């Protein structure tokens, strides 16, 4: 029955006497929901239904009689009235039911009820009926939006997958194709790491670990992926933290860029995430004061219930809100509200009147509207062109990127037959019957990553990567096709440039080692092999001096000029390449006679020896050339020929440089002997085959021995005494020189310290350091350890460094020498006059002694020029407080001249030959 005041059955213990009007408290406790709400009750004993005004609008729009309303309400609440009689008081129940109103419309109502009674049990039900039809419609709209988003992802030309806890839970069609699978079943359930190459795993894990919040995404990053067959390909990927069936997961979008390894474009496509839709339920007084504010309202507007209750609803929602106005407009309206932080909210308001106020249902449609906007915005903002081609072959829609790439306006593109687009492959124009969209429409096949050339209306061409697939694969009969394409013109140009750079030297633009070997291998294979293939291995003489003394920029210019001269000096079908440093090669199959090969070598040498002017300076270089020939029955590989030519070039350098030498087997054997000697030298340290001889250094005025120079000797068990001129270069070219240097320093400091103590003499030890030792980071510590271990005073040790070693890198040498000087040892420059230094340069180094090279001392008695040079060196050295030592004194006349020139010290065979320590010190003892 309808009544002005709703009687509550058995409500004596509930705070409301039976038959009295019902206040807002119990109803508010039940919570309100829906566009329209009405209160009802049921008496278990009388089996009667009661309701407040408003139920007739909810059930039939005001056209139903009271009996019809009671009948409809009884049908709706029957599951509650029959199943709750035995429930204790204050137990709550909820039920959703559908019904058809008099207009024939299907409506949905939510019934929430509470048992009411006393200590003796429940006496009835008190409930509220709410129209939730619009809520269900919102859910359906959300599902429709989700389907559209799913279709967008499924048809995306980019591979998309979702992984949860490291396991793949979803892949789109592009991902199935990219990973080399035939169906999703081959991928779902497998660890995502199965498809990531080892070299990309650490960075991928770091990127995923950086995503801490829902919706967070990584920057585009290159990742190497693995197909099912184990092959690798490069993608540009973006990971987005999302959810999958309510659980944390990651969505990964991958664009295949393996064909263009230097891809510049980043992935533009991002999936729109659909937000959870919830309704704010707000109860107000007739004057708009909030009396109830549910948790959903807290989430929607940002105000807590404690802050909201008692406030004005218009202030809380950030806009004018008059429930009566909403009711006059049919009870539903759409408007804009504002969150507490000022952000805009799209709200759908439903209002219902109750007792002394109103119930407002504010459905937040912001997420749905934003998702719809994202859907269209994403397609519009993609860098990829996207066009939809109808069954008749006409272009029905195109995004801005498609218009930009094709080079026409949007209106000029819509309705145009797709076959009028001028597409070309590598062999020529594609006939209309073989257009990708035509093939897809006829066969249903998806074509992915087609590389084509598109002729624009303006006459210029662009290269595109195109994917063509059915718009609705589940309904192939529709025959609409989606074609997406990317402008890869720049990437293609980059790829061609990278291919050139991979086979050419960047400095000279000549062929690099890879191209030389490939070309040589091709010349040595096949039925059309030439009668004779010739390889010239060219190494520039004097280039290192230019590079070290004038700098790398000058050296680079010299190399470019040398490369250009070689290029001009060969035939049209010949190849010239640079292997690195100052090493070049020439490959020719055009000449067959030995005299022609020699003439070519001489011609190339003459071209290289012409003066080179760089930065106003005239420079001179020469070349040592190794030559190897291979007849058409020669079984050597390209690597073998290059090795043999290198051996011949080394022989040319050994014989004096500035010449050419042909390879023969004996050269290879000598090289092999050199390698064996290097191994034997390594063993010599272990087998104690190395020993030290000492040569006296004499004070010229007093004639007394003031120092000895340590000279290393090697007695080979099979070959006897090996000359230092042979094994020292071997040591310097390998890592042995540092080991041998430590051995000499340790043994000689121990020997001289012992002799000084036994004989009571103040004798200085001179030990040579090679250029390689100056690069040893442990040199200073090794010297300090040797002095400390043997007890030799630092002032008694002189370390000698050659002039060329000091000039190679003056700054680095100065740093090392300063550290050695800080230990207290003396420093000497050896072989002065053989390099390109000046005393002004040497003055910047912490030196104590200068040793004049023996080449000047040898001619001092016969040549006035030699004597003048020596005199000048001594005078300049004394001017900067350097002690001068003359090497190679062979007779008394040379010694007398040096005495007249005021040279300080001398050494040579005339003053004493290198000898074992017992022999030397026994003689002076």
* Tokens found for residue 737: 């020189």
pLDDT band at residue 837 using 50, 70 and 90 as cut-offs: low
Sheet holding 575-580, edge to edge: 575-580, 583-588, 532-541, 622-631, 660-662
pLDDT band at residue 32 using 50, 70 and 90 as cut-offs: very low
Question: Any idea what the Cα angle at residue 389 is, between residues 385 and 395, rounded to 5°?
Answer: 80
Kindly state the average pLDDT of the residues 622-645: 90
Residue 386 has pLDDT above 70, yes or no: yes
Give residue-wise pLDDT tens across range 464-482. Answer: 889 989 888 877 777 788 9
Kindly state the average pLDDT of the residues 833-845: 65
Please tell me whether the overall predicted TM-score, pTM, comes out greater than 0.85 for this model.
Answer: no
Give residue-wise pLDDT tens across range 284-336. Answer: 998 889 999 999 999 999 999 999 999 999 999 988 888 888 888 888 888 89
Is the CB of residue 529 less than 8 Å from the CB of residue 632? Answer: yes
With H, G, I as helix, E, B as strand and everything else as coil, classify residue 902. coil
Residue 914 has pLDDT above 90, yes or no: yes
Give residue-wise pLDDT tens across range 48-60. Answer: 999 988 888 888 7
Distance, CA of 855 to CA of 857 (rounded, Å): 6
* Tokens found for residue 431: 């006939």
* Tokens found for residue 864: 């006035």
With H, G, I as helix, E, B as strand and everything else as coil, classify residue 237. strand
- How confident is the model at residue 836, as a pLDDT? 53
Work out the percent of the chain whose per-residue pLDDT is above 70: 90
Mean pLDDT of the chain: 84
Q: How far apart are the first and last CA of the chain?
A: 140
Strands (E), 216-306: 221-226, 232-244, 247-256, 279-285, 290-293
Is the CB of residue 586 less than 8 Å from the CB of residue 570? Answer: yes
Kindly state the average pLDDT of the residues 876-884: 91
- How confident is the model at residue 360, as a pLDDT? 92
Higher pLDDT, 866 or 146: 866
Give residue-wise pLDDT tens across range 118-127. Answer: 878 888 999 9
pLDDT band at residue 491 using 50, 70 and 90 as cut-offs: confident
- How confident is the model at residue 149, as a pLDDT? 67
Which pairing describes strands 883-886 and 905-906: parallel, antiparallel, or unpaired?
Answer: parallel
Q: How far is CA 157 from CA 413, 470, 909, in A?
A: 22, 12, 85
Residue owning tokens 């020929």: 641
Strands (E), 208-364: 221-226, 232-244, 247-256, 279-285, 290-293, 332-338, 344-354, 357-364
- How confident is the model at residue 13, as a pLDDT? 33
Q: Backbone dihedral region of 754: left (phi > 0), alpha (psi from -120 to 50 degrees) or beta? A: alpha
Higher pLDDT, 832 or 371: 832
Give residue-wise pLDDT tens across range 733-777. Answer: 777 888 888 999 999 999 999 999 998 899 999 999 988 888 888
Kindly state the average pLDDT of the residues 534-563: 89
- How confident is the model at residue 674, as a pLDDT? 72
Distance, CA of 368 to CA of 145 (rounded, Å): 8
With H, G, I as helix, E, B as strand and everything else as coil, classify residue 379. helix
Is the CB of residue 693 less than 8 Å from the CB of residue 711? Answer: yes
- How confident is the model at residue 747, as a pLDDT? 93
Is the CB of residue 109 less than 8 Å from the CB of residue 80? Answer: no
Q: At what angle do helices 917-924 and 736-759 cross, to 10 degrees?
A: 30
Residue 268 has pLDDT above 50, yes or no: no
Q: Backbone dihedral region of 230: left (phi > 0), alpha (psi from -120 to 50 degrees) or beta? A: left
Residue 544 has pLDDT above 90, yes or no: no
- How confident is the model at residue 146, as a pLDDT? 66
Residue 191 has pLDDT above 70, yes or no: yes
């Amino acid at each position: 029955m309808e009544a002005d005041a709703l009687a509550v059955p058995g409500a004596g213990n509930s705070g409301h006497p039976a038959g009295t009007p019902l206040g807002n408290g119990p109803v508010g406790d039940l919570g309100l929901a829906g566009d329209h709400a009405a209160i009802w009750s049921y008496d278990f004993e009388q089996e009667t239904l009661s309701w407040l005004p408003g139920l007739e609008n909810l059930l039939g729009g005001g056209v139903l009689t009271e009996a019809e309303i009671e009948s409809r309400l009884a049908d709706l609440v029957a599951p509650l009235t029959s199943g709750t009689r035995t429930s204790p008081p204050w137990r709550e129940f909820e039920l959703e039911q559908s019904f058809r109103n008099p207009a024939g419309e299907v409506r949905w109502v939510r019934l929430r009820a509470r048992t009411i009674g006393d200590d003796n049990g429940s006496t009835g039900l008190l409930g509220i009926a709410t129209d939730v039809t619009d809520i269900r419609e919102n859910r359906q709209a959300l599902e429709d939006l989700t389907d559209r988003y799913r279709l967008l992802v499924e048809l995306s030309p980019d591979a998309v997958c979702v992984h949860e806890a490291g396991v793949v839970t979803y892949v789109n069609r592009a991902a199935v194709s990219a990973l080399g699978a035939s169906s999703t079943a081959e991928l779902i359930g497998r660890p995502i790491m199965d498809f990531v190459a080892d070299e990309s795993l650490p960075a991928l894990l770091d990127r995923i670990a950086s995503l801490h919040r829902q919706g967070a995404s990584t920057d585009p990053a290159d990742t190497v992926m693995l197909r099912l067959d184990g092959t690798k390909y490069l993608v540009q990927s973006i990971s987005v933290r999302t959810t999958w069936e309510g659980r944390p997961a990651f969505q990964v979008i991958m664009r295949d860029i393996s064909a263009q390894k230097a891809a510049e474009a980043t992935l533009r496509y991002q999936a729109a995430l659909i937000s959870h839709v919830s309704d704010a339920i707000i109860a107000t007084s007739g004057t708009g004061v909030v009396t109830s504010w549910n948790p959903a309202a807290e989430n929607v507007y940002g105000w807590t219930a404690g802050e909201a209750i008692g406030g004005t609803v218009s202030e809380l929602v950030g806009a004018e809100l008059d429930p009566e106005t909403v009711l006059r407009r049919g009870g539903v309206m759409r408007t804009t509200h504002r969150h507490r932080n000022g952000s805009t909210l799209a709200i759908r308001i439903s209002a219902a009147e109750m007792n002394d106020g109103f119930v407002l249902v504010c459905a937040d449609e912001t997420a749905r509207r934003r998702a719809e906007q994202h859907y269209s915005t994403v397609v519009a903002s993609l860098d990829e062109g996207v066009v939809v081609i109808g069954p008749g072959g006409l272009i029905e829609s195109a995004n801005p990127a498609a218009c930009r790439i094709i080079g026409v306006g949007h209106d000029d593109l819509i309705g145009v037959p797709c076959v009028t687009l001028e597409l070309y492959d590598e062999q020529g124009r594609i006939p209309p019957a073989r257009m990708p969209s035509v093939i897809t429409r006829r066969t249903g096949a998806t074509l992915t990553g087609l590389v084509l050339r598109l002729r624009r209306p303006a006459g210029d061409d662009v290269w595109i990567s195109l994917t063509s697939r059915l718009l609705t694969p589940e309904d192939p009969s529709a025959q609409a096709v989606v074609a997406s394409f990317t402008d890869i013109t720049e990437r293609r140009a980059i790829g061609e440039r990278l291919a050139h750079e991979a086979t050419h030297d960047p400095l000279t633009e000549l062929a690099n080692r890879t191209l030389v070997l490939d070309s040589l291998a091709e010349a040595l294979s096949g039925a059309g092999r030439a009668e004779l293939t010739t390889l010239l291995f060219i190494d520039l003489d004097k280039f290192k001096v230019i590079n070290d003394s004038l700098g790398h920029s000058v050296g680079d210019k010299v190399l470019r000029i040398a490369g250009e001269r070689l290029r001009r000096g060969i035939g049209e079908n010949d190849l010239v390449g640079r292997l690195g440093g100052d090493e070049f090669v020439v490959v020719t199959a055009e000449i067959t006679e030995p005299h022609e090969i020699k003439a070519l070598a001489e011609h190339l040498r003459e071209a290289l020896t012409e003066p080179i002017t760089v930065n106003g300076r005239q420079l001179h270089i020469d070349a040592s050339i190794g030559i190897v020939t291979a007849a058409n029955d020669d079984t050597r590989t390209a690597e073998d020929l290059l090795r043999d030519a290198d051996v011949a070039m080394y022989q040319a350098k050994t014989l004096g440089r500035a010449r050419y030498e042909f390879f023969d087997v004996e050269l290879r054997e000598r090289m092999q002997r050199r390698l064996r000697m290097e191994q034997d030298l390594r063993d010599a340290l272990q087998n104690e085959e190395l020993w030290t001889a000492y040569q006296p250094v004499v004070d010229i005025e007093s004639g007394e021995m003031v120092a000895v120079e340590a000279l290393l000797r090697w007695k080979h068990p099979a070959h006897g005494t090996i000359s230092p001129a042979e094994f020292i270069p071997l040591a310097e070219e390998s890592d042995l020189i540092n080991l041998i240097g430590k051995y000499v320093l340790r043994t000689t400091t121990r020997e001289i310290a012992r002799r000084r103590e036994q004989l009571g003499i103040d004798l200085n030890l001179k030990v040579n350091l090679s250029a390689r030792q100056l690069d040893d980071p442990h040199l200073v510590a090794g010297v300090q350890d040797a002095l400390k271990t043997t007890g030799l005073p630092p002032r008694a040790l002189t370390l000698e460094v050659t002039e060329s070693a000091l000039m190679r890198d003056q700054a680095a040498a100065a740093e090392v020498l300063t550290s050695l000087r800080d230990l207290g040892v003396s420093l000497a420059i050896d072989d002065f006059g053989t390099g390109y230094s000046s005393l002004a340069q040497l003055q910047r180094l912490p030196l104590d002694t200068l040793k004049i090279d023996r080449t000047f001392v040898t001619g001092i008695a016969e040549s006035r020029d030699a004597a003048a040079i020596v005199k000048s060196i001594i005078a300049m050295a004394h001017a900067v407080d350097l002690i001068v030592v003359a090497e190679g004194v062979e007779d008394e006349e040379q010694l007398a001249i040096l005495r007249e020139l005021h040279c300080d010290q001398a050494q040579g065979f005339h003053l004493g030959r290198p000898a074992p320590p017992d022999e030397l010190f026994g003689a002076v003892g």
